[in-house]
């Protein structure tokens, strides 16, 4: 088996039953995933779901308890982190404060004993790619948070890694910078032409950046698919919640319809949604933006408003149903506490799941 450093790109990265346990607790349970060259993969899930564990196993920072990792025909989970040669962008920038931007970016090349001329060429190219040419001789403390994150990205890509790993790189930035850096990360990924695996708990980041999203919960894969697949067709309630279905109403099943739809009922509620179940009760999941206050229609929920926040172009309302189930909705008009509202929703915007997870 070859044990030297990995050079260049690859066609297929395969995670085969990757498992990691800590003191008898399974943090990552049999992760199977195949990634093609140039793909942008987002690992999405709440804290403790196993996404950072998966990234650290890939990087070689954590040994596997079970399974294996392959780059094409070469098994790499037996290699040390430096032999894998992956680029890593951390949540904290981890820049050397006493080194200029140029020296921070070139540090990895110096450790690899790359020639001075080649180092200068690569650093100049990395600076161009992250648009920091004018800041090359500044210290990290003289840069904004977004600029520091660009330095961290440049340092990761300057070594020409076969794979770039990013662990929640935008979580320390403010909302405006996060939006700007999303665009930049996607641009750099396309220009670089290498594969990227990106860990996040933010569904908007995953939807805007990824070619495919892997949703994890309790160390297990819940669904893998394109952003469009997961947004429109979540496989289960956990995925639905992470894809913005904030309302989960427990209702009685009154009949399954031809075409994969189910009719549900509850106090002041009559809904028909996509999905069939065999249980007597089910969860109806609905996004707040899909509920229309005051509109006519048979698919409707009657609720009493408990509060409202002005959100610029609309109001975000909270309410409770007749049996005190909370619900969030949006309204173009001002709404008042204790106001009775009728919220309608198209059938295709309601997802139905078995009432087994609350």
Does the pLDDT at position 1 exceed 70? Answer: no
**Could you say which DSSP state residue 1 is in?**
-
If one compares 66 and 294, the residue with the highest pLDDT of the two is: 66
- pLDDT digit string, tens, across residues 70-90: 999 999 999 999 899 899 998
Question: What confidence tier does 19 reach under pLDDT thresholds 50, 70, 90?
Answer: very high
* CATH class assigned to 12-237: alpha beta
- pLDDT digit string, tens, across residues 305-354: 999 998 888 899 999 999 999 999 999 888 999 999 999 999 999 999 99
Give pLDDT, residue 5.
52
H helical segments located in the chain: 51-59, 81-84, 101-111, 116-129, 145-157, 175-192, 203-209, 227-232, 237-242
pTM for this entry:
0.88
Closest CA to 79 of 17, 4, 170: 4
Pairing label, strands 351-354, 212-217: unpaired
Question: What confidence tier does 294 reach under pLDDT thresholds 50, 70, 90?
Answer: confident
Return the CATH number of 246-354, one of 3.40.190.10, 3.30.565.10, 3.90.1150.10, 2.40.50.140.
2.40.50.140
CB-count burial class (<10 Å; 0-12, 13-18, 19+) for 338:
exposed
Does the pLDDT at position 358 exceed 50? Answer: no
Lowest mean pLDDT among 257-261, 296-300, 312-316, 354-358: 354-358
The structure tokens listed for 43 are 């690992």
Helix (H) or strand (E) holding 249: strand 247-257
The structure tokens listed for 357 are 């997870």
CATH 3.40.50.300 domain position(s) in the chain = 12-237
Dump strand ranges (E) for the chain: 12-22, 25-36, 40-44, 66-71, 74-75, 87-89, 163-167, 195-200, 212-217, 220-225, 247-257, 261-266, 269-274, 281-286, 292-293, 300-310, 315-321, 326-331, 340-344, 351-354
CATH 2.40.50.140 domain position(s) in the chain = 246-354
What's the Cα-to-Cα distance from 171 to each of 64, 154, 229, 331, 349, rounded to whole Å? 27, 18, 25, 30, 30
Closest CA to 343 of 276, 274, 284: 284
Place of tokens 């260049």: 8
């Amino acid at each position: 088996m070859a044990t030297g450093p990995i050079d260049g790109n690859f066609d297929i990265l395969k995670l085969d039953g990757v498992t990691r346990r800590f003191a008898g607790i399974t943090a990552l349970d049999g992760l199977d995933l195949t990634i093609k060259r140039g793909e942008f993969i987002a690992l999405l899930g709440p804290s403790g779901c196993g996404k950072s564990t998966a990234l650290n196993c890939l990087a070689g920072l954590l040994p596997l308890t079970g399974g294996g990792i392959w780059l094409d025909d070469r098994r790499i989970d037996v290699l040390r982190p430096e032999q894998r040669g992956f680029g890593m962008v951390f949540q904290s920038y981890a820049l050397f404060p006493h080194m200029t931007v140029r020296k921070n970016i070139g540090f990895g090349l110096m450790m690899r004993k790359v020639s001075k001329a080649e180092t200068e060429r690569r650093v100049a190219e990395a600076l161009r790619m992250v648009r920091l040419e004018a800041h090359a001789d500044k210290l990290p403390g003289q840069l904004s948070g977004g600029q520091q994150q660009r330095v961290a990205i440049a340092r990761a890509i300057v070594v020409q890694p076969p794979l770039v790993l990013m662990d929640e790189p935008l979580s320390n930035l403010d909302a405006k910078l996060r939006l700007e850096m999303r665009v930049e990360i996607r641009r750099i990924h396309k220009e670089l032409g290498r594969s990227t695996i990106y860990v996040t708990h933010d569904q908007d980041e995953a939807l805007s950046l990824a070619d495919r999203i892997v949703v994890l919960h309790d160390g297990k894969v819940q669904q893998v698919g394109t952003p469009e697949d997961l947004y429109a067709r979540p496989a289960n309630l956990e995925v639905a919640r992470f894809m913005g279905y904030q309302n989960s109403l427990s209702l009685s099943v009154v009949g399954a319809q031809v075409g994969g739809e189910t009719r549900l009922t509850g106090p002041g509620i009559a809904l028909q949604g996509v999905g069939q179940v065999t249980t007597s009760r089910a969860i109806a999941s609905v996004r707040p933006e899909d509920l229309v206050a005051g509109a006519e229609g048979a698919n409707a929920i009657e609720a009493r408003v408990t509060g409202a926040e002005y959100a610029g172009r609309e109001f975000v309302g909270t309410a409770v149903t007749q049996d005190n189930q909370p619900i969030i909705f949006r309204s173009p008009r001002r709404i008042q506490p204790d106001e009775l509202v009728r919220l309608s929703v198209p059938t295709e915007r309601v997802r139905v799941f078995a009432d087994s997870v609350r």
